[in-house]
Amino acid sequence: MAKVTGIATQLSGKVGQFIYRRTKSGTVVCEAPAKVDAPKRSEAQMRVRAQWGNLAAVFRQFNQTLKKGFEGVNGRMSDYNAFLQTNMNVVKVYIAKNVLLNGGSVLAPYQITRGTLPSIAMSVGADNVLASDIALGDLTISESTTVADFSNALIACNDDYEAGDQLTFFYGQQTTDAVTGVPRAKVRGFKVMLDPLDSTLLWDVVSPLGFSSADGYLAMNSKISDGAAVWVHSREDGDGRVRVSTQFLYVDSGILAKYQGSAAMRNAAESYGGITKSEVYLNPSSMKKTDDDDLQAENGD
């Protein structure tokens, strides 16, 4: 710290690399402390960034169909942010920048809804057909089944369903682009409102893909392979509030494991510029050459 004279006595605050401070005895100056910048791409930051890409890509595949899919969120939080917040660092999937640039995404067992209605359980039988725990009683769904038939069966056999409820089935298919080699996904949604008086044929409203029967329960009509599927129960209350069941995608994938784990994270991180590591003198692995090496060089050893 030093005392200044002349026009410099009129200065105050930080100017360049110096700090000027006025005191009773005059203006003094000292050098501003050096600021140690945090790494711009720390490992923690890159773990988040490498996950974010796939989360965003998968969410886009739902094409606004998850609107109001998360109950109880702050009114200023979007459905997209709720989806990211719910799944970040829970289901860790890492994709490289080139996958995003080529429109790729990897289906994963993400949570797609959160709410107060009872969840729909899912299981796969020996034939690899995905089935729900939604009982149908004696109803065997066929091309002649009406919405009324379906609605009455659900309401009669399941305590949690009532007229006016909606049942939605989402199905995503995982493929690999033949030209670019990147993983691609396409998600479709099918919905039906339970109406005990609707004579419309059920399969004219929804696809048999997710609205078929197996052993008395609602199921898919074929085995699931390299895909993802889930049923969601939703209801609009009298005040206009949408209630949903909490659901996670069921995923059958031959490529998911390739995009999980530390190797996948490092590969994705490198595509975004790599992880910046700050030099730490006391960390042995951070030093390419030790002081002993320098001493030996000086002594000619």
For the chain, give the mean pLDDT.
Answer: 88
pLDDT of residue 36: 54
Query: Whose CA is closest to 134, among 208, 64, 191, 212?
Result: 212
Is the model's pLDDT at 192 over the cut of 70? Answer: yes
Is the model's pLDDT at 89 over the cut of 70? Answer: yes
| d(C-alpha 269, C-alpha 290), whole Å | 29
Count of Cβ atoms closer than 10 Å to residue 60 Cβ: 14
pLDDT of residue 107: 98
Residue 186: pLDDT band (50, 70, 90) is: very high
| d(C-alpha 106, C-alpha 255), whole Å | 8
- The torsion of the CA quartet 147, 150, 156, 162, rounded to 10 degrees, works out to -50
| d(C-alpha 110, C-alpha 80), whole Å | 13
Contact 255, 146 (CB under 8 A): no
Q: What are 8-42's pLDDT values in tens digits?
A: 555 566 666 667 677 767 776 676 666 655 456 67
pLDDT of residue 295: 43
Query: Whose CA is closest to 94, among 300, 256, 211, 283?
Result: 256
What is the DSSP-derived secondary structure letter of residue 117?
A: B
Q: What is the mean pLDDT of residues 228-246?
A: 95
Domain residue limits, the chain: 1-36, 43-271
| d(C-alpha 58, C-alpha 191), whole Å | 20
The residue type at 135: A
Q: What is the mean pLDDT of residues 57-68?
A: 96
Q: What are 96-152's pLDDT values in tens digits?
A: 999 999 999 999 999 999 999 999 999 998 899 999 999 999 999 999 999 999 999
Q: What is the mean pLDDT of residues 261-271?
A: 93
Q: HSE-up of 25 (CA within 13 Å, CB side)?
A: 4
Q: At what angle do helices 262-271 and 43-61 cross, to 10 degrees?
A: 90
pLDDT of residue 22: 74
pLDDT of residue 35: 60
pLDDT of residue 217: 98
Bridge partners of 31, per DSSP, are 18
Radius of gyration of the chain, Cα coordinates, nearest whole angstrom: 30
Query: Whose CA is closest to 143, among 76, 194, 202?
Result: 202
| d(C-alpha 166, C-alpha 155), whole Å | 12
Residue 291: pLDDT band (50, 70, 90) is: very low
Global pTM value? 0.79
Q: What is the mean pLDDT of residues 193-197?
A: 99
Contact 232, 112 (CB under 8 A): yes
Is the model's pLDDT at 288 over the cut of 60? Answer: no
Query: Whose CA is closest to 61, among 148, 173, 223, 180?
Result: 173
